[in-house]
Chains A and B, each alone.
Chain A
Amino acid sequence: MADLTNEFVTQIKEAVAQKRPLIIEGSGSKRWYGNVVAGHRTLSTAGHTGILDYDPAELVLTARAGTTIAELEKGLADRGQMLPFEPPRYSSESTLGGVIAAGLSGPARPYAGGVRDFVLGLHIVDGKGDVLKFGGQVMKNVAGYDVSRLMTGSLGVLGLITQVSLKVLPVSLAQSTLCFALSEAAAIHQVNAWSAKPLPITGSVWHQGVLNVRLAGARAAVASAEQQLGGTKLAPEVAAKLWLDLQDQTHAFFGSASAMVGQRSLWRLSLPAIAPAIDAALIPGAQDQLIEWGGAQRWLWSDASPEAIRQLARSLGGHAVLFNNQHAVGDVFDKLPPPLLAIHQRLKNTFDPHGIFNPGRLCQGL
């Protein structure tokens, strides 16, 4: 438990004076994510820790950015609550600040919401060294622009997040996972058809001809949904491991040595859930996808050209992310159309006028 805000302010002011950019880091568990930013000094939030306020009846938790997700989850679990967006942790040292700045969410994303849906407020130190507070610790708040959500998923290019208030939720009383043998196209159709019915679905994954669907909620609701959907029920410990492996990307798909050979990269396609199955003749690697979020998140290892993959994702109404940029080439994210890029640049100029924070990590020139 230490408040390092003043030290951060000093470091940032020094960096401005010396015109030397800083790389913001929590535990460094997502160092590989985003465009490569090399050769700068690191500002670490790791020592800036502590849960500052948590009252289960408020469904709100406030903590310093360096607090580990593990500590938050432990505190929440003790009171029967959880982080509903299931952030991937990558390491036991993953910090709250990193999770918010990366904006990544787990299997529950389309059902419970993503990180952005649970951020209520935060404090930042901006690129002038000023401490600013946005949002708050209440569920509903429309005073001023939603800067808290602007910071969520910003990969640290606008400011140093020092403190965050999150909405949290109670853990479901019952959980169950059902398994079905289905083709890619049939699985995508089926999950969407089910999602249009009042069923307590909170996760779905398709891989190698098998669809797994997670149900969670009141006991009676889960029991009646099991009846309705059929399929084969997974043993609880097998199911628990499956969803954890997906959340933390420890699932074999993500680490398979055979997949990583040569010039293959891991791509994350963010698509409309009902986008058609991707043709492996067009995009090599598409035959071995892992599909989550009811079809809205499709993973593949491919050596297709980045342009081809991006073009495909865009034509389907989504976008593509070069998720693990191990070959460190080019942009990780899709390019922004000029009017949007201009807005981004002006926002950067407002919050980080000297270009001190994570230059280029989210987008070249930002």
Chain B
Amino acid sequence: MSEKRQRLIEALSGSLPSANLLWQKEDTAPYECDGLAAYRTLPLAVALPENEAQVQAVLKVCNEFGVPVVPRGAGTGLSGGAMPMQEGIVLSTAKMNQILNIDPLSRRAILQPGVRNLAISDAAAPYGLYYAPDPSSQIACSIGGNVAENSGGVHCLKYGLTVNNVIQVRAVLMDGDVVEFGTEALDAPGLDLLAVMIGSEGMLAVVTEVTVRLVPRPPVARVIMASFDDMTKAGNAVADVIAAGLIPAGLEMMDKAATRAVEEFVHAGYDLDAEAILLCESDGTEEEVTEEIERMSAVLRESGAIRIQVSQSEAERMVFWSGRKNAFPAAGRISPDYYCMDGTIPKKAIATLLNQIKEMEDRYGLRCMNVFHAGDGNMHPLILFDGSDEDQWHRAETFGNEILEACVALGGTITGEHGVGIEKINTMCVQFDEKERDAFFGVKAAFDPAKLLNPDKAIPTLHRCAEYGRMHVHRGQLPHPDLPRF
């Protein structure tokens, strides 16, 4: 062990109970990656503070030593945001998992950052309330991670993303100062730094407390499962539903490859002949849902649905959703590995992108299945590959980048809810120019002047973008390969 590392560990030992500091390889190994398992690094140490004062102490030590800190929640992130740095430590919020307060009258919950997303709704259930953003990973992912990624879920079209449901965030800056973003009211003096914190991927401050808004659980929910014999028709149906003035509680789409994979897994009775399936949910009071389901069914039929089934019971609703909710494990069953993309596009471009992806499947010699948040144009192509084959991983990665670039070209973005992390850092060069990236570095430095908090993630340097540009030239895809790219 190097002398610096030795001294760092000694200093950290002074800030934490001894069981809360890990530095032996066998103890730190479980932290070497997050949900993006293709990227792995062992950190110098892992700190597991139990409270805000310990977070402050850890950050102060690291600040003094000039050692980078990578915050980590449950480690389910899909973009490598919590991937450790070799020369840095991981700060895990796993031991800060208390629900501090639930106030049913003001409909607020105050949470430590390590509280699991689903635990909030479970704790609020006795009051008829719940926390609306529901990422598919909700049994595992933490509210701190949700804040860092601005996570969304199936119900975000109607109920909003993390940013629309978090009222206040308490956090510790790299120098140990405690700050509050937002107030207990609906706004705060000064700039909206709360909004900047949300989706900031652990690069601005370590979140130590989150106040969320709870909403009443609608008494009734019903879902329509509509089959289409044509992808373009299904894509257009999504736009038609919205254009008719309807905001479904969820509007999700699965292509044929996805339907087949999940049906084998969950046996929900999905229509295996359909080219695409739409799940369109209504929630509210009995009368409201009846009225809405009727209007939705009419629009879907008009848009060319060949088969429409409406859930007749809560049990059946769960069955209809089971495939969608299990799409990731289903992909895991039919392929050794899968690579999940997260680009978002205008709804009118859904069919175009899906057709482009089909063409890419042939070109890269890899299969791709699509299950996604159609209502807000948030695509989740799952590229299937075998990670033990270096060449397949390389192809999957390039395939993924091409999809993201297509999303940008269609007027969209490279990431809707999973974050940039380390994974999409190169494609950031495609979406933002040098001056915009400089502004992002400025935002980072405004919160973390020492650049020690999760550095080197999310915002690419000029040098990195130049490298990425050269890679493109190799693939012969840039229009003017002879021109300098910077």
Q: Which A residues are closer than 8 A to B by beta carbons?
A: 55-60, 80-81, 103, 109-110, 113-114, 116-117, 126, 130, 132-134, 136-147, 149-150, 152-154, 158, 169-171, 173, 189, 192-193, 195-199, 217-221, 223-224, 270-274, 293, 296-297, 317-319, 321, 333-337, 339-340, 343-344, 346-347, 349-351, 362-363
Q: Considering the complex of A and B, which 9 residue pairs feature the smallest CB-CB distances, nearest first?
A: A350-B442, A220-B287, A149-B195, A317-B184, A140-B416, A139-B376, A346-B446, A318-B185, A57-B239
Q: Chain B residues near A347 (CB, 8 Å)?
A: 191, 442-443, 446
Assess the B190–A336 pair: CB atoms within 8 A. Answer: yes
Assess the B128–A140 pair: CB atoms within 8 A. Answer: no
Q: Which residue of B lies closest to A272 (CB)?
A: B184
Assess the A152–B439 pair: CB atoms within 8 A. Answer: no
A108 to B128 alpha-carbon distance, docked (Å): 22
With most chain B CB atoms within 10 A of its CB, the pick from A113, A132, A219 is A132
Assess the A220–B285 pair: CB atoms within 8 A. Answer: yes
- With A134-B436, A136-B413, A149-B192 known as contacts, the answer to whether A218 contacts B446 (CB < 8 A) is no
User: What are 10 pairs between A and B in contact, CB < 8 Å?
Assistant: A58-B347, A139-B378, A142-B149, A143-B414, A145-B196, A199-B216, A318-B185, A334-B189, A346-B445, A347-B443
B251 to chain A, nearest CB (A): 11
Assess the A149–B196 pair: CB atoms within 8 A. Answer: yes
What 1/0 mask marks residues of chain B from 230 to 255 whose CB sits below 8 Å from any chain A CB?
00000000011011011100000000
Assess the A220–B199 pair: CB atoms within 8 A. Answer: no
- Cβ of B459 under 8 Å from chain A: yes
B304 to chain A, nearest CB (A): 16
Q: Chain B residues near A170 (CB, 8 Å)?
A: 245-247
Q: Which residue of A lies closest to B378 (CB)?
A: A140
B344 to chain A, nearest CB (A): 5
Assess the A224–B285 pair: CB atoms within 8 A. Answer: yes
The residue from A143, A217, A318 contacting B431, defined by CB atoms under 8 A apart: A143
Number of A-B contacts (CB under 8 A): 263
Assess the B411–A136 pair: CB atoms within 8 A. Answer: yes
Q: Which residue of A lies closest to B216 (CB)?
A: A198
- With A57-B348, A144-B459, A224-B287 known as contacts, the answer to whether A198 contacts B191 (CB < 8 A) is no
Q: Chain B residues near A189 (CB, 8 Å)?
A: 105
B169-216 interface (Cβ within 8 A of A): 173, 177-180, 183-193, 195-196, 198-200, 204, 216
Q: Chain B residues near A333 (CB, 8 Å)?
A: 189-190
Q: Chain A residues near B246 (CB, 8 Å)?
A: 170
Assess the B191–A150 pair: CB atoms within 8 A. Answer: yes
A240 to B199 alpha-carbon distance, docked (Å): 38
B94-111 interface (Cβ within 8 A of A): 103-108
Q: Which B residues are closer than 8 A to A by beta carbons?
A: 103-108, 127-129, 149-150, 152, 156-157, 160-161, 163-164, 173, 177-180, 183-193, 195-196, 198-200, 204, 216-219, 239-240, 242-243, 245-247, 284-285, 287-288, 290-292, 344-348, 373, 376-378, 411-420, 424, 428, 431-432, 435-436, 439-440, 442-447, 449, 458-459
A57 to B236 alpha-carbon distance, docked (Å): 10
Assess the A60–B185 pair: CB atoms within 8 A. Answer: no
The residue from A58, A114, A343 contacting B447, defined by CB atoms under 8 A apart: A343
Q: Chain B residues near A132 (CB, 8 Å)?
A: 435-436, 439
Assess the B348–A340 pair: CB atoms within 8 A. Answer: no
B109 to chain A, nearest CB (A): 13
Assess the B185–A270 pair: CB atoms within 8 A. Answer: yes
Q: Chain B residues near A139 (CB, 8 Å)?
A: 157, 344, 376-378, 416
Q: Chain A residues near B439 (CB, 8 Å)?
A: 126, 132, 134, 147, 350-351
Assess the A138–B184 pair: CB atoms within 8 A. Answer: no
Q: Chain B residues near A217 (CB, 8 Å)?
A: 284, 288
- With A221-B287, A272-B184 known as contacts, the answer to whether A196 contacts B105 (CB < 8 A) is yes
